[in-house]
A and B are shown apart, each in its own frame.
Chain A
């Protein structure tokens, strides 16, 4: 790949998806785009770039999808889901007792393992029985959303992070594939969404999982997304980030929960300055979060 082609692709990806590739990631681009070029009947990346420059829109979106589709698995990192079961859901059951409904957003949901992990946690949480729980899964890529909607996973995929008793309880086997049962699939709504664009139409959420996606954006883009996420979270809501992600040094829109790694709440001082709300309860205090 020539430096010029690489620069073109970097700019294209930044503009379309926010993906911020450093100068030394040619190998990553080649490993993902050479197979794509071959599938499109093109000999290599130079020809792929030429087609994109000529206005091949479908190919352009295929390139963006190929570069932004990232690894995911059920109950990834385990701890955020422990937090969900042990702190967030118990607290919200108390805080939302009168309205008996919850909204959870899984941003950058990829092939569905994260929103379905959340759905299984909700299903197992007896106190939420009879509640209206909306889980909204969004991703930039229509292709991964289609896979997510189908809820069909390989033997390899269901063995990474998914406890065996949950596989038996919530999946149906078809040969070497496993499909999530319809009741779990029905708990998740799928929508295509680019985090770089306005997402205020989704409404507000009690919990936002935005994990392992902001890591690919530059600082300004991250700060902008944090700012917009803060307007999507209920005043006492909880934001969950990935293990390698943080707001520290990027945005003052959120503050970390000291003893719940990866969880954040709205920064009350900042919100008060902006005149959003005079009093913001911290939902996790309701259950005596450490």
Chain B
């Protein structure tokens, strides 16, 4: 079973994302900020990361940069999932190595479409 790390400071969003992704046969690991997400990745890289942008301690953009610099850190497919829905943020995320981008609010169809797009489904 493939693994997906869900990184979001909102427990509600993590719960919704977990339910959707478990329905898509992913095993879920959760983290509430970028720093905790990095600790998870150091223990073992997931197949996919659903990543919020604005979080305390370390935001999603900073986390993505750190992840991509790690050995093997280019492997996980990273899908941003954020309320930052302007084209400038999207372009920054893609430049930093994001594979896809979800603008909140989202539903199961959108998550499924984006995960299909990056070849995870």
Contact = CB atoms under 8 A, between A and B. Distances in A.
Contact of A164 (B86, B100, B109, B116): B100
A246 to B, nearest CB: 23
A78 B116 CA distance: 9
B20 to A, nearest CB: 14
Contacts of A78: 116
A155 B113 CA distance: 14
B103 A155 contact: yes
A173 B100 contact: no
Nearest to A164: B101
A155 B102 CA distance: 10
A176 B116 contact: no
A223 interface: no
Nearest to B80: A164
B10 interface: no
Interface in A164-218: 164-165, 167-168, 173, 176
Q: What is the size category of the interface that chain B forms with chain A? A: 10 to 19
B110 A164 contact: no
A161 interface: yes
A53 interface: no
> What size tier do the contact residues of chain A reach?
10 to 19
- Chain B binding surface, main DSSP class: helix
B116 to A, nearest CB: 7
Given A159-B102, A160-B113, A168 B85 contact: no
Most chain B CB within 10 A, of A73, A159, A167, is at A159
A165 B118 CA distance: 12
Contact of B110 (A160, A165, A168): A160
Contacts of A161: 113
A159 B80 CA distance: 13
Interface string B31-50: 00000000000000000000
Nearest to A172: B87
A73 B110 CA distance: 11
A176 B84 CA distance: 11
Contact of A160 (B86, B90, B101, B109): B109
A123 B35 CA distance: 41
Interface in B102-121: 102-103, 106, 109-110, 113-114, 116-117
A43 interface: no
A181 to B, nearest CB: 12
B96 interface: no
A156 B87 CA distance: 15
18 contacts: A73-B113, A78-B116, A155-B103, A159-B102, A159-B110, A160-B110, A160-B113, A163-B100, A164-B94, A164-B100, A164-B101, A164-B114, A165-B94, A167-B90, A168-B87, A168-B90, A168-B94, A176-B85
Interface of A: 73, 78, 155-156, 159-161, 163-165, 167-168, 173, 176
Given A159-B102, A165-B94, 4 more contacts: A73-B113, A164-B117, A168-B94, A173-B87
